[in-house]
Every structure is written in C-alpha cells, then in structure tokens.
Amino acid sequence: MKRGRTHGAQHTSAPRRPTVDPSAVQGGDLTHLPDGLITLNLSLCTNRLGPPPAAVEALQNFLASGADRLMPPPYQAERRYVQAVAHWLGVDERHMIAGRGVTEFLMILARLLSLSRVAVVTPEYTMTMRHFHYAHFEHPDDPTLTEVARELGISSESLWGWVKKTNGTGQTGAGTSVAAGSGLDAAEREELKRLRKLAADQAKTIEILKEATAFFAQESDR
C-alpha cells in the first residue's frame, strides 16, 4: 500500500468544528472555536478568570434550593437583583438603580451632569467624550485643580469658585464658522464646530489657571 508523501511539518487534522452554533451561545469561552467562527454576544460579559469562590458557593446554594426559579436572559429580575445587592451592602434599596451595563449609566450621567463640574480623564472612548462634550478633558499627568490649589496654599473650593466666576464673565472662545465649499457635510461641520469649541475651552481653562495662579500669588504677598 502506497503512502502519501508529506512536505514540511507533519499533516495535522483540520480543527474540529463545533456542534453548537456559535451565534446561539450566550457568553462562555469561545476561544476553542476555529478562526472565522467566533462571534461575540455582548449581552453578557465573560471573565476568563472565572467567578470568585464566593459566587460559585452562592450559585451552588441557590441551585440546591431554588433551581426552579432560574430563568434564561433576558428576564425581569431587576428588583430582586437590587434587593440582594442592597442587603449585601447594608443600604436602602431605594438608593440603588440597576442598569444595563456601564454605557447606560454614562449616557444618563452625561445628561444629568451637564450643568455640573465634570472632568473626563483621557484617553477615553470617543463615545464617552462626545456625550461629555461640555466637560474638562484632563490627562493623568496634568495637574488637577486640587494640586494647583495646594501649591497656592488655598482651598480647592476657593480656586474653583474663582474659576467659575471667571468663566461666567469670559469670552466664549474662538469663532466656529466653516468656509463654504470646504468639502464637509453637515454632520462633519457640526463636529468641527464642537471640536473647535472644545479646543478653545481647553485653552481658556489653561489661561484661567495661569491668571488664578498670579492672582492668588499677589494675594499671599499682601
């Protein structure tokens, strides 16, 4: 019987195809699937390190006494979830809200905090930066307002009050007109306006801090 010849490395069998449709898998570790067959289901987050022992123990206890109450997602269990977490934390459940992931909370906070003092630490996802377009964008290496206040020997509340007062009387920054025929569509022109305003606001913030530094330095010499 003739044997077929092989070239280079020994012939390996083709990867075993899964018996379950990957698109039907809810969470789970899909790394064993062949290339091109991996799909992501973002309705559940998967921790490859596995659940903590306390969570495993809690699930085992639940399965032993209440397996009949298990339901496949999605399901309406927010109330029970909030009650359980509130009980564990020792807080009033009325002070807690169950959200569908961090994105939902970010969008809500972006609306609720629009008139408040907000800082976004960069780098950050573009979507978050767009929702918090009114915020101060700070790099981790940049000095914070608290650090500047400490350097000046004053409270951060005093410095922030001065910044707010100056913001209320200052100019709005650079113009935002876009020349006709620039090749940008309406959405791109609006985005360019927003980015120009953001750059102007950042430059104004730097100038305000410089002026505040000089002002409080003079005050401390009196």
Q: Where among 67, 98, 129 does a domain terminate? A: 98
- Which span out of 45-54, 76-85, 197-206 was modeled with the highest average pLDDT? 76-85
- What pLDDT sits at residue 87? 92
Preceding omega of 123 cis (within 30 degrees of 0): yes
Q: Is residue 79 part of a domain?
A: yes
Is residue 153 in some structural domain? Answer: yes
**Helix extents (H) in the chain:** 53-66, 78-89, 102-112, 126-131, 145-152, 156-169, 186-221
The pLDDT assigned to 91 comes to 92
Determine the structural domain holding residue 193 and report its residue range.
Answer: 143-221
**Same domain (yes/no): 151, 216:** yes
Residue 200 lies in a domain: yes
Last-in-domain residue among 65, 81, 98: 98
Q: Is residue 172 included in any domain, yes or no?
A: yes
Is 45 a domain residue? no
* Residue 195 located in a structural domain: yes
Give me the pLDDT at residue 178, please.
31
Count: domains in the chain: 2
DSSP of 26-77, one letter per residue? -SS--TTSPTT-----TTS---TT---HHHHHHHHHHHHHHGGG--PSS---
